Structure 1
Amino acid sequence: MKIATYNVNGINARLPVLLQWLKEASPDIVCLQELKAPQERFPLQEINAAGYQALWKGQKSWNGVAILTKDLEMTEVQDTLPGDPEDLQSRYIEAIIDQIVICCMYLPNGNPYPGPKFDYKLDWLKRLKKRTNELIKMKLPAILIGDFNIIPEPIDVHKPEHWENDALYRTEVRKAFRELKNKGWLDSIRTLYPDEMIYTFWDYLYKAYDRNAGIRLDHILLSPYLRSSLKSGGVDRHVRGWTKSSDHAPVWIQLEK
């Protein structure tokens, strides 16, 4: 089973790129972030024509998450991260597919640091920790997947010294990521490539992609009950170089079931 995540940075504006990648990569499950489209403007007809069914929660202008699947039954669990009924940002959707809990996430950026946006990010991470602990206690095969807006380690960023006071790299958020791993969640890409500099995002400015001046923000974490199923994975880096592509590249893993 091939499972992927892709921050599309505007699903309608970049729909040709998404459809081209779906045809080329043919993942079984895809989690999308940053749809930048209200609920009614999700391109369901085109997604269906590409062979996928979808669950999504849109939002005007920003945010928005979706889960696509090709031939597998999908049941929605919830479309908000529990813990704050006043949080209306579309950043989380959870579904059960082939007996696996898929948690598609678009974590807050948190910048500028310090400030209320960073405080919101820390609160979001606390709520995520609570939900992930529940999944561990229930002994469910589960996947945390999406754009975490967290750079976990110095190896995951070009020139880490430039990022010390950025909300993506602050000690507090990196600690939260480590705590997830300490609870048993497996960082699949880093496990497969323990010593390689692997990036998933390259800014549009300063020819960052051409210089490979990137960061690793997009992650696929596996619960303890899926660790032994991890077979392979990678980043479809070349997609970032396509015309009118997102500033993120798709990330994928293959599970052996």
Structure 2
Amino acid sequence: MTRIATFNVNGVNGRLPVLLKWLAETAYDIVCLQELKTSDDKFPVEAIRQAGYGAIWHGQKSYNGVAILARGTAPTERRRGLPGDPDDTHSRYIEADVDGLVVGCLYLPNGNPAPGPRFDYKLRWFDRLISYAGLLREEGAPSVLCGDYNVVPTPIDAVVPRRWLSDAVYFPESRQAYGQMLEDGWIDAVRHVHPEKGIYTYWNFSYRGGYDRSSGLRMDHLLIDPSLLAKLRNAGVDVHVRGWEKPSDHAPAWIEFD
């Protein structure tokens, strides 16, 4: 079995105890991290190596940042950053080869406040992702594109959908762009395994501690190319991690292959 997980850690150094505890508990084979919020030189590579993982990362001080971890091996970097905008300095995409599997880790722009310049940037970035994902499909290698898409695809992906009508993650344009990925052949692996189940990967922080369960959203996704579908066996979310001490506002989502 090969198990792949994606986790928006919301600050890799500030949440390092959570990350290391989760890695030790689960031992996923490939892990994609988003929102590192650290420069390249301050990424906690030694702690991650001691946990048994090789890593590549694309950091940015205080914002964004993505990384790919592989248990017991070193991911081979294929790309950092999406093509199509040489002036884009945000660290939002990194890609690796791990034992013949192409893994793209992404942190799609949030887009709020919307409408406005940030939402326009989100849609432009999404267009670049759609175009590049098409090129990746043409290569023919088994591929996974996973991360925080900052998109809630359908009403079933929110506990209370009406709460998010004015949020960029639920705007029709965001959902249409995500839908385009599916129309192009990518498969939402978690939703494929659980077609009618309310599954969530994000909850607001609560002022009283803990988290607001009514704010649940599913916006961390693992998209697989069709060549992997026959091997897909299971998928889920490690919801309990959201309840740990000093957690991220996201919980890890995962898939399992033969």
TM-score past 0.5 threshold? yes
What are structure 2's unaligned runs of at least 5 residues? none
- Contact 2:55-2:74 within 8 A present in 1 as well: no
Deviation at 1:209, TM superposition (A): 3.2
Mapped partners of 2:113, 2:124: distance in 1:
16
The residue identity in structure 2 corresponding to 1:224 is P
SS of structure 1 residue aligned to 2:226: coil
| Match of residue 30 from structure 1 | 31
Q: Percent identity?
A: 52
Take 1:43 and 1:155, find their aligned partners in 2: how far apart are those partners?
Answer: 36
Does residue 229 of the first structure (1) align with residue 247 of the second (2)? no
- Whole-angstrom distance in 1 between the partners of 2:95 and 2:212: 35
Aligned to 2:130: 129
Stretches of structure 1 that go unaligned for 5 or more consecutive residues are none
Alpha-carbon distance between aligned partners in 2 of 1:135 and 1:37, rounded to the nearest angstrom: 28
CA shift for structure 1 position 206: 5.9
List 4+ stretches of structure 1 deviating above 6 A: none
Shift, 1:193, TM fit: 0.7
Question: Any conservation in 2 of the 1:141–1:223 contact (CA below 8 Å)?
Answer: yes
Query: Residue type of the partner of 2:19?
Result: L
User: Could you say which residue in structure 1 is the equivalent of 2:247?
Assistant: 245
- Residue equivalent to 2:205: 204
The alignment partner of 1:123 has SS state of helix
Q: Which residue of structure 2 aligns with residue 119 of structure 1?
A: 120
Determine the C-alpha separation between the residues in 1 that align with 2:114 and 2:212: 28
Distance in 2, matches of 1:108 and 1:219, equals 14
Deviations along 1:112-141, one digit per CA (max 9) or x if unpaired, are 001100000000011001111111122221
C-alpha distance 43-129 of structure 1, shift in aligned 2 (>3 A):
same
Counterpart of 1:153? 154
2:160 is equivalent to residue 170 of structure 1: no
User: Counterpart of 2:52 in 1: which secondary structure?
Assistant: coil
Q: Secondary structure at the match of 1:11?
A: coil
Note the C-alpha offset of 1:168.
0.3
Q: CA RMSD in A?
A: 1.2
Q: TM-score, normalised by structure 1?
A: 0.97
The amino acid of 1:217's aligned partner reads M
Deviates more, 1:179-188 or 1:156-165: 156-165
Give the Cα–Cα distance (whole angstroms) in 2 for the partners of residues 174 and 210 of structure 1.
Answer: 24
Q: TM-score, normalised by structure 2?
A: 0.96
- Partner letter of residue 183 of structure 1? D
Q: Distance in 1 between matches of 2:164 and 2:215?
A: 13
Residues 73 and 98, structure 1, Cα contact 8 Å, conserved in 2: no
**Contact persistence 2:66–2:105 (CA under 8 A):** yes
